[in-house]
A = this chain, B = another copy of it.
Amino acid sequence: MQELLNEIAEAMATKTERGKVADYIPELAHVDPNRFAISLATVNGERYSAGCAAAPFSIQSISKVFTLTIALGKMGDALWANVGREPSGDPFNSIVQLEHEGGKPRNPFINAGAIAVVDAIMMGHEPKETLAELLNFVRYIADDESICFDHTVAASEMAHRDRNASLAHFMKAFGRLRHDVDKVLGTYFHQCAIAMSCEQLAHAGLFLASDGVNQPSNIRVVSPQRARRINSLMMMCGHYDASGEFAFRVGLPGKSGVGGGILAIAPGQGAIAVWSPGLDEYGNSLLGTEALEMFVQRTGWSVFGH
């Protein structure tokens, strides 16, 4: 397996078409497009990595998997009153669907849905408290106390918040948010600004591959049913309007982030984290997807057959 990861890292190093690094905030624009990392955490406790797998990067939308997990833990199926669970067919930041459907976002992974999830977990608390809780959770499932927010990234996102502010105010106008919009956005941008390495991310996602149980600690994070459901949402909606493409090519539940990371789950096998900052036209990591495609072809871990 280590050999496979090495091969993948080497194959990716030779690629000249590496996509376009996100440039809507300076902090993301300055990342070196040549970096690459891949990590695998298996359900029986093994760890493999290749590339700069200890280097932290901005996980951005991958964090939506963690806030969704927290929200379901806090309120269970009541969450679905204000967030749907269908692919949207629209880009990550689209507002059209909200207008047509009463301000209810289609799923928890498009921006509007993730903002609604943040609002749901705030439960009247201040951003600081909510963020502390979130960070504790991520550190717990990654078993790593060193994980932190990148406050510079969060501040820069806040300064460029207009598109997301539009989504939040729109939902608030329909009564879908209970908290102050700027507080919700401040929390949301910090959530997205968590910095993690591929090693940490693979570890953090492992409970989704092992029926909800954190490994090797053997502590239950969610029920098996909930793990399956989160995986289904990652499969259906994890890559926005390119989710079908990811399912077609990779065949694993996955969630991408604009920082270039992808967390993919192979149920019963392990969690795989990849990082390559260059994005395709849909905002998903170009080489990250290629690496996962290669990984699944070699391991036969697609959920759709060997």
**Residues on A facing B (Cβ under 8 Å):** 84-90, 94-100, 106-107, 161-163, 165-170, 172-173, 181, 208-212, 224, 227-229, 231-233, 235-237, 241-245, 247-248, 251, 253, 267-268, 302-306
B244 touches A233 (CB 8 A): yes
Number of copies: 4
Instruction: Given A166-B167, A166-B170, decide whether A304 and B87 contact each other with a Cβ distance below 8 A.
Output: no
Whether the Cβ atoms of B211 and A235 lie closer than 8 Å is no
- CB contact between A244 and one of B162, B170, B210, B236 (< 8 Å): that residue: B236
* Contacting residues, chain B, for A162 (C-beta < 8 A): 169-170, 172-173, 181
Chain B residues closer than 8 Å to A97, beta-carbon distance: 89
Q: Are B253 and A304 in contact (CB under 8 A)?
A: yes
Is there contact, CB below 8 Å, between B86 and A242?
yes
CB distance from A122 to the nearest CB of B (A): 17
Scoring A85, A89, A90, A224 by chain B CB atoms within 10 A of each residue's CB, the highest score goes to A89
Whole-angstrom CA separation of A86 from B241 in the bound complex: 7
Between-chain CB contacts (< 8 Å), 30 pairs: A85-B245, A86-B87, A86-B242, A89-B89, A89-B90, A89-B97, A94-B99, A95-B96, A96-B96, A96-B99, A163-B173, A165-B165, A165-B166, A165-B169, A166-B166, A166-B169, A169-B169, A209-B305, A210-B305, A211-B306, A212-B305, A224-B306, A228-B251, A228-B304, A232-B251, A233-B247, A235-B236, A236-B247, A267-B305, A268-B306
